[in-house]
Amino acid sequence: MLSRRSPGRPAAAGPAEPPGARCGEPLAPDRPPLVTYTLIGLCVLAFLVGPVAGLDPVYGSGHDQLCAQAGYFARWGVIPSELWHGALPPDALSLPAGCRAGGPSGKLPALSVLTALFVHGGWTHLLGNMLFLFVFGPAVEDRVGRTRYAVFYLVAGYVATYGYAYGHAGSTQTLIGASGAIAGVLGAFLFLYPRARVTSLLPFLLFLPLRFPAWLVLGFWFALQWFASRTAQAAPGVAYLAHVIGFGFGFLCAAAAYRERSKLTPQAATRGDSQP
């Protein structure tokens, strides 16, 4: 479990860091991270009004609710095979036993990549993703700006999803969740703030809060995702490869933006305490 640190801005901070410059700690943002909060709000809203939360009686209960959830995921989630071969006929969908497929939905596979970013499979799935976005998103948004951050987030989601679908082109299993896009945010954070201190709760008798540099926390997380994506015994139903691709995309995007910014403002290349 992680928590975001918001250190106070020094009284004499000197010249403002240009977008893309690297530094040790993210400064407290001058303005609220509206894009990050909006993304979190949309994900929570989509979850609450859908059949997964179980708050709307229209979806029924028990097996009826399970079928409603499967249909909901198939309608708004990504099916890798659809991205390459077009929308599947209803009888080709992977549904639980006893669930009947509905008629043609008019689904646009490319658009489903966008809608899938706001669909989650349970409370744990939702809260875990939103925690990571809340911890790491504001600093990246503050550094790159709201518009570029919003575009970057969505593009990272598309790149991660299509990358996963390329490796599983024949799969009819549904892919949902914001993990690929959030992994892109983690990759960008790692490049921009490699020495930022991140509080982690480690299970040692009781949960023990310890502070580690971002390069260690996120590097370890990436290593776990990479290993799981290469292991046949990895937990089913988790798109580890999408996490790996999204993380790499975010890191490379931040590196490219930093390099471009350094050409325009050479002083950015030497400012900060975390240069290679």
pLDDT of 52 reads 87
Q: What is the pLDDT of residues 234-270, one digit of tens each?
A: 555 788 999 999 999 999 999 998 887 766 655 544 4
Query: What average pLDDT does the segment 147-170 reach?
Result: 95
Regarding beta strands 206-213 and 197-204, do their DSSP bridges make them parallel or antiparallel, or are they unpaired?
Answer: antiparallel
Query: What average pLDDT does the segment 123-141 reach?
Result: 94
**276 in a structural domain:** no
Specify which of 90-99, 183-192, 195-204, 233-242 reaches the highest per-range mean pLDDT.
Answer: 183-192
Q: With 0.75 as the threshold, say if the pTM is over it.
A: yes
**7 in a structural domain:** no
**5 in a structural domain:** no
**173 in a structural domain:** yes
d(CA 178, CA 114): 9
Q: DSSP characters for 53-90?
A: S---GGG-STHHHHHHHHHHHHHHSB-HHHHHH-PPPG
**123 in a structural domain:** yes
Query: What average pLDDT does the segment 139-143 reach?
Result: 94
Token look-up 């659809």 returns: 82
Token look-up 């010249």 returns: 15
Please give the distance of CA 36 from its chain centroid, rounded to a whole number.
11
Q: How many domains does the chain have?
A: 1
pLDDT of 84 reads 85
Q: Which of 24, 17, 251, 19 is nearest to 145 (CA)?
A: 19
**57 in a structural domain:** yes
Q: Which of 193, 239, 229 is nearest to 212 (CA)?
A: 193
Amino acid at 88: L
Q: What is the pLDDT of residues 3-14, one digit of tens each?
A: 434 333 333 333
**1 in a structural domain:** no
Query: What average pLDDT does the segment 136-165 reach?
Result: 96
Local confidence band at 276 (pLDDT 50, 70, 90 cut-offs): very low
d(CA 175, CA 192): 29
**CATH code at 236?**
1.20.1540.10
* Pair of tokens at residue 81: 């095979």
Q: Domain span at residue 174?
A: 21-96+107-200+223-269
pLDDT at residue 201 tops 90: no
Task: Tell me which of 218 and 10 has the higher pLDDT.
Answer: 218
Q: What is the pLDDT of residues 33-49, one digit of tens each?
A: 999 999 999 999 999 98
pLDDT of 10 reads 35
φ, ψ of residue 204 to 5 degrees: the values are: -130, 95
Local confidence band at 68 (pLDDT 50, 70, 90 cut-offs): confident
Length reported for the chain: 276
**215 in a structural domain:** no
* Pair of tokens at residue 3: 């928590």
Please give the distance of CA 231 from its chain centroid, rounded to a whole number.
21
Mean pLDDT for the chain overall? 79
CA distances from 85 to 48, 63, 76, 197 (A): 32, 31, 17, 45
Query: What average pLDDT does the segment 213-228 reach?
Result: 91
The sheet carrying 197-204 orders its strands as 2-3, 197-204, 206-213
pLDDT of 24 reads 55
Least confident segment among 13-17, 135-139, 179-183, 268-272: 13-17
